[in-house]
Amino acid sequence: MTMTAPDTERELLSRVPTGLYIDGGWRQSASGRSFAVVDPSTGEALAQVADATPEDGEAALDAAHRAQKGWAKTPPRVRAEILRRAFELVTARVDEFALTMTLEMGKPLAESRGEVAYGAEFLRWFSEEAPRIAGRYSTAPDGANRLLVVKRPVGPCLFITPWNFPLAMATRKIAPAIAAGCTMVLKPAALTPLTALLLTQVFEEAGLPAGVLNVIPTTRAGAVTGPLIRDPRLRKLSFTGSTEVGRRLIADSAEQVLRVSMELGGNAPFIVFDDADIPAAVTGGILAKMRNGGEACVAANRFLVHESVAEEFTTAFVERMAAFTPARGTDPESTVGPLVDEATRNKVSSLVAEAIEDGATVAVGGQPVPGPGYFYQPTVLTGVPASARILNEEIFGPVAPITTFRTEAEAIELANATPFGLVCFAYTADLNRALRLAEELDTGMLGINAGVVSNPAAPFGGVKQSGLGREGGFEGIDEYLETRYVGIADPFASTEDA
Ligand code: NAP
């Protein structure tokens, strides 16, 4: 069994930037302090990163504000070409990005490479959107005036991103903002700042002007971002993370009536109907559950299986879950990495323990893997009562609770019985049923006979407490554009000009 050579890891880590990036330059924190980034598969420190203070946050917004006017005037083609260069640079450095992500976040290298391809694709997609920002010119219905509608960049943005997809969650915001002509301040998660810093280096190399992107890792998220949210120069907040923090940020944003985009938590149902192709549903279910080790907002959180196929589905699904190999993500044998930290693993353990107390049966797994690192066994629970906490909260780990239903109406009712509405998955061979689900499920996204729906060309986002706004697709750039209307008097009213 071979692992990434420790020398390769050390050499890479010695090249990843560890400073703050403000106004086109790397600098230390105003306090001189730094914090450790930890490898979740060993619990050991990988690097020390500058820890931004509120003063640094203000310097970052100063730079973004100063750069905004000039950046908005940059030709769209220039913005497009910077994004295209960044896409090519990230793609050329796939191994570096993948290893950095695996080291700080834990997922197996093959999955990290998948995220590099997915994250880079937002750069390419929005490089293609930048020159296509359009307006319109029309005649008012009464024929008197002309109506000119133009799209303008929103202005300086603040981005707050989570640790679970350290590259893609950043490019999903940065790329459309660059395309639209907005400047920005990015605060990546303190658990995984290295990937964001490597991406910043790429933008520097791609020729992004000073002040357009400013990056401020910090251990004091609220203290550093709070004053920026209250600053009238900021015009937009885009947040990806938990519903709990998102709700608080929406309230804080009310003061300046900030535009907000919120990509929040989910509680995805994975529904298997009696007419489904069961082997395909098992494969899709494994993807939907185990991608990113279950640490995904779109992870299948509840398996709802028709009672007539429950035994067949569960037997095959348990077999596949039992075949996973938890190991450090750099190990070629690894098919599932550790959870990101001790607190996350403790939460998963307590959800499983409570479900068992509530009457659930463990079909496989059910225990943390002894250290080092924060590994948890891939787990399947059956007979979970509807009231169990595990069915009503985001698990964010490799645990699949399976419950059964009898009718389509019951499945839809169960699927919708949650305050969340990010994504649903359904396996069925009946086209009319699939279309009924597309109309009846309260969700931002729906996978039909598909365990993964994320795609940079599609609008990603949720309804209810899963969020506001969409990232990716044609819709993604609209989050960074304001609509300005110009009313013009009838050009034919004065015949002298004719
Ligand atoms: P989190 O605790 O809400 O943190 C997300 C980000 O917010 C981090 O950068 C965090 O900083 C920052 N933060 C925390 N408290 C803050 C505050 N008071 N003010 C300003 N920023 C604050 O979520 P997480 O545990 O990192 O991520 C998991 C959650 O993200 C899950 O609920 C998942 O569903 C959701 N998610 C949603 C999507 C989507 O597109 N819908 C995608 C991925 C993840 P620090 O970490 O540095 O403290």
Q: What is the DSSP string of 153-166?
A: E---EEEE--SSST
Answer whether residue 495 shows pLDDT above 70.
Answer: no
Regarding whether 272 and 254 lie in a shared domain, the answer is no
CA distances from 220 to 36, 286, 368 (A): 14, 36, 30
What would the mean pLDDT of 242-247 be, rounded to a whole number?
98
CATH number at residue 233: 3.40.605.10
Assigned domain for 495 exists: no
Q: How far is the CA of 263 from the centre of ligand 1 (A)?
A: 9
Residue nearest (by alpha carbon) to ligand 1 atom 39: 263
Whether residue 284 sits in one domain with residue 242:
no
Q: Is the CB of 297 under 6 A from ligand 1?
A: yes
Distance, CA of 376 to CA of 372 (rounded, Å) = 11
Q: Are 100 and 12 in contact (CB under 8 A)?
A: yes
Q: What is the CATH number of the domain that holds 342?
A: 3.40.309.10
Strand arrangement of the beta sheet that strand 136-139 belongs to: 136-139, 146-153, 481-488
Q: pLDDT value at position 3?
A: 61
Given the DSSP bridges, would you call strands 399-405 and 379-382 parallel, antiparallel or unpaired? parallel
Q: Would you place residue 1 in the very low, low, confident or very high pLDDT band (cuts 50, 70, 90)?
A: very low
> How does residue 314 score in pLDDT terms, banded at 50, 70 and 90?
very high
Q: Which residues have C-beta within 8 Å of that of residue 92, sequence separation ≥ 6? A: none
Let me know whether 293 and 163 are in one domain. no
Q: Nearest CA to 271 among 445, 432, 452, 426?
A: 426
- Rounded mean pLDDT, 238-256: 98
Same domain, 471 and 432: no
Q: What pLDDT is attached to residue 471?
A: 98
| Ligand 1 contact via 225 beta carbon (within 6 Å) | yes
pLDDT over threshold 90, residue 371: no
pLDDT number for residue 2: 46
Locus of tokens 């220039």: 78
Average pLDDT over residues 50-75: 98
Rounded to whole angstroms, the Cα distance separating 126 from 197 reads 21
Name the token pair of 395. Answer: 């698990």
Pair 403, 473 in one domain? no
Structural domain contains residue 299: yes
Residue 498 pLDDT class (50, 70, 90 cuts): low
- The answer as to whether 457 is a domain residue is no
For residue 327, pLDDT over 60 is answered with yes
Give the C-alpha distances (Å, rounded to integers) separating 333 from 100, 193, 215, 363: 18, 26, 35, 24
For 289, the domain range is 268-448
Which atom of ligand 1 is least distant from the CA of 462? Answer: 41
Beta strands in 311-393 (DSSP E): 361-364, 379-382
Query: Same structural domain for residues 303 and 384?
Result: yes
- Per-residue pLDDT tens digits for 155-201: 999 999 999 999 999 999 999 999 999 999 999 999 999 999 999 99
CB atoms within 10 A of CB 92: 12
Asked if residue 476 and residue 430 are part of one domain, the reply reads: no
Return the ligand 1 atom nearest residue 189 CA: 9
Assess whether 258 and 273 both reside in one domain.
no
Would you state the pLDDT for residue 497? Answer: 59
Residue nearest to atom 28 of ligand 1 (CA): 241
How would you class 63 by CB atoms within 10 Å of its CB: exposed for 0-12, middle for 13-18, buried for 19 or more?
buried
Percentage with pLDDT > 90 across the chain: 97
CA 465 – ligand 1 centroid, Å: 14
Active-site residue set? 263, 297
The predicted structure's pLDDT at residue 221:
98
Q: What residues have CB less than 8 Å from 424, skipping those under 6 apart?
A: 268, 269, 270, 271, 415, 437, 441, 443, 445, 446, 447
Q: Does residue 161 have its Cβ closer than 6 Å to ligand 1?
A: yes
Tally the residues of the chain. 498
Residue-averaged pLDDT of the chain? 97
Joined tokens for residue 90: 């990230």
Beta bridge partners of 381: 362, 401
Pocket test of ligand 1: the residue of 159, 192, 297 to mutate, having most ligand atoms within 8 Å of its CB, is 297
User: What's the rounded mean pLDDT across residues 82-97?
Assistant: 98
In a domain, 496, yes or no: no
Phi and psi of 200, rounded to 5°? -60, -40
Q: Letter for the amino acid at 195?
A: T
Closest ligand 1 atom number to CA of residue 161: 9
Examine the domain organization and report whether 64 and 147 are in the same domain: yes
Share of the chain above pLDDT 70, in %: 99
Output helix, strand, coil percentages for the chain, rounded to the nearest 5: 40, 20, 35
Residue 453 resides in a domain: no
Centroid of ligand 1 to alpha carbon of 72 (angstroms): 29
User: Ligand 1 in contact with 261 (CB < 6 A)?
Assistant: no
One domain, residues 245 and 357: no
Give the pairing type, strands 34-39 and 25-27. Answer: unpaired
In a domain, 459, yes or no: no
Best of 159, 163, 244 to mutate for ligand 1, by most ligand atoms within 8 A of CB?
163
Structure tokens at 223: 């203290």
How far does the centroid of ligand 1 lie from the alpha carbon of residue 97, in Å?
A: 21
- Average pLDDT of the segment spanning 145-161: 98
Rg (CA), the chain: 24
Assess contact for 83 and 130: CB atoms under 8 A. yes
Mean pLDDT of 246-272: 98
Structure pTM?
Answer: 0.97
Place of tokens 């400073």: 19
Asked whether residue 2 is assigned to any structural domain, the reply reads no
- Going by the DSSP 8-state scheme, the letter that residue 476 receives in this structure is G
- 3, part of any domain: no
Answer with the residue of higher pLDDT: 321 or 4. Answer: 321
Number of structural domains found in the chain: 2
Residue among 61, 168, 150 nearest 105 (CA): 168
Closest residue by Cα to atom 30, ligand 1, is 241
259 and 284 inside one domain: no
Q: Where are the alpha helices (DSSP H) in 130-242?
A: 168-180, 193-205, 221-229
241 lines ligand 1 (CB under 6 A): yes
Residue 105 CB less than 6 A away from ligand 1: no
CA proximity to 124, closest of 174, 175, 169, 78: 175
Nearest CA to ligand 1 atom 48: 221
Ligand 1 closest atom vs CA 219:
47
Looking at the fold, whether 283 and 227 belong to one and the same domain comes out as no
pLDDT number for residue 494: 75
What CA dihedral angle connects 257, 182, 168 and 50, to 10 degrees? -90
Could you tell me if the CB of 190 is within 6 A of ligand 1? yes
Please report the pLDDT score of residue 4 as a whole number.
72
